[in-house]
Amino acid sequence: MAGGTGGHIFPGLAVAEQVRAAGWDVVWMGVRGGMEERLVPPHGYRTAWIRARAARGKGLLQKLLLPANLLFSFWESGRHLLRLKPDVVLGLGGYVAFPGGMMASLLARPLALHEQNAIAGLANRVLAGVSDKVMVAFPGALKKAEWTGNPVRAQIATMDPPEQRYARREGPIRLLVVGGSLGAQALNEAVPKALALLSPRPVVRHQAGEKHLESLAGQYRASGVQGELVAFIDDMARAYAAADLVICRAGAVTIAELSAGGMASILVPFPHAVDDHQTANARFLADRGAAIL
């Protein structure tokens, strides 16, 4: 069970890849209309969809409808679990994880939970009390949890080490700017202006998010800077391997991938993330001299 953003989906895909290779049958439970509905099916997994909404951070109408929405999500999740009869249920976050996790517990299905961020979300704090196994990516995120780190995709885990990647590299610095699966408007505005002040300028690849791509192109034109501008990067291993420096947000998956690949990075946490968890994620690397915050 995972969905909502790449920060939940990509760790789920990494785990699913490994357990499928070990001979397990994997069924992915997610939210209809969520990002997972686009990203997961191409990998060939069976799917089970529910309709779920965030438990906090919405307007008055959503708060009033929350009890009904939760009950419906519980019913849909329970229906899927009764039909599938899974041997184990793994929750990796997103709106789907709370109703799915609670119903797994109520139906006496073994429940494992993984928290990707340095500060646990509300749903995982609740689910931790009913889970059979709790795992965290950052030490101390949840009590009585095993520190496992974050799962990363095999393509990134098997990247050549930095000393091999950089051994024969010449020419200008290669800069990769990553806004995350939803893009980062602040980076889109600040980076072109900063690049305009540099001489010589680096070779730039800038991932902006689908809805920000057009405005980003305008920012680059206005700053007189050239760069390869893309909405989404499917092959992050290749993108990381080609870069000397990464400027990015501090989502959990990004932190894990930077660490696994040995990437130099400047981290710009999203300031409005729930519980400011991106700043906590970034500090884990910055305090150890592994990134600039």
Could you report the per-residue pLDDT of 33-51, keeping only the tens digit for each? 999 999 999 999 999 999 8
Pair 109, 207 in one domain: no
Which residues constitute the domain of residue 118?
Answer: 6-151
Pair 144, 266 in one domain: no
Confidence of residue 66 (pLDDT cuts 50, 70, 90): confident
Domain contains 1 = no
Pair 11, 112 in one domain: yes
Percent of the chain residues topping a pLDDT of 90: 74
Pair 256, 147 in one domain: no
Note whether 28 and 40 are within 8 A (CB). yes
Note whether 238 and 228 are within 8 A (CB). no
Q: How far is CA 154 from CA 15, 17, 93, in A?
A: 10, 9, 21
Strand bridging mode 174-178 / 203-207: parallel
Pair 18, 138 in one domain: yes
The structure's pTM equals: 0.86
User: Domain tally for the chain?
Assistant: 2
CATH code for position 207? 3.40.50.2000
Among 201, 204, 249, 209, which residue's Cα sits nearest to residue 228?
204
Domain contains 218 = yes
How much is the mean pLDDT over the chain? 92
Among 239, 238, 242, 236, which residue's Cα sits nearest to residue 166?
242
Does 244 score more than 80 pLDDT? yes
Domain contains 274 = yes
pLDDT at residue 44 in the model? 97
pLDDT tens-digit series, residues 149-164: 999 988 999 999 999 9
Q: How far is CA 234 from CA 80, 238, 239, in A?
A: 30, 9, 9
pLDDT tens-digit series, residues 148-207: 999 998 899 999 999 999 988 899 999 999 986 556 788 888 999 999 999 999 999 999
Least confident of 7-16, 65-74, 225-234, 238-247: 65-74
Note whether 116 and 7 are within 8 A (CB). yes
Pair 181, 131 in one domain: no
Between helix 6-21 and helix 252-261 the angle, nearest 10°, is 60
